[in-house]
Amino acid sequence: MAERTTANAAEGTPLGDLGRRLAAGRARLGLSLRETAERAGMAPSYLRYLEDHPGAAPGSGPLIRLAEVLETTVTDLTGGAVDLPPGPGPAGREPEFTELDPAECRSLLSAHGVGRLAVPTDSGPVIVPVNYDVVDGAIVFRTAEGATPSLADSGPVAFEVDRIDDAFSRGWSVLVRGRARTVTDPGEESRLTERAFSTPWPGGDRHVWVRVDPDTVTGRRITV
């Protein structure tokens, strides 16, 4: 069976924090376990051991090589930066700031994940994170009745996603402006539920679907 690159791939579901971060790093770059091990100069069986054993404690040498291959840092790989905001490092040398074309914006936006929703409220604008998907070009997410994201109904909103690569001082962001509406049609609700990749991380009773139909989509990228 050919190796796959997702976290629940044929290699099995990784165990422990380090194992999950290794597998997530491989998936992000599209690398199999064998490819990652070869580039890091180690046996695939050893990398499999690191992913499968929560108590694995590799030395600094293997961690440094794996961090280089996965384009990250040892701190990120071992979870040392979990509670730190992204982008604490210095700017890269000769950074280049470019506008993204609409096709690239849509491509980056289409990957489901966590985005930031700016909602106008009676007390002023509020920005909240939401687990989102993109379905038929619209941004969709689930929330609870009366929760802050539900206040977006029938109003103008802004939605932003970004990725920051601290190790290389680079990243991108995509900004969407549009109008939000609560999905009330049972058929549409069922279709969105079937096509959703994951449930909201906060858990609880979050069955109110909201969709944002974009009016404008813009993006920017910083490279070094």
| Domains of the chain with CATH codes | 16-77 (1.10.260.40), 96-223 (2.30.110.10)
Q: At what angle do helices 44-52 and 60-69 cross, to 10 degrees?
A: 100
pTM of the model: 0.69
Q: Cα(76)–Cα(73) distance, rounded to whole angstroms?
A: 5
CA angle 110, 113, 223 (to 5 degrees): 70
CA angle 180, 181, 184 (to 5 degrees): 160
- 152 Cβ contact partners less than 8 Å away, ≥ 6 residues apart: 117, 119, 180, 210, 212
pLDDT 10s digits, 53-112: 888 889 889 999 999 999 888 888 888 766 666 766 677 778 888 999 999 999 998 877
Highest-confidence segment of 1-5, 74-78, 85-89, 179-183 = 179-183
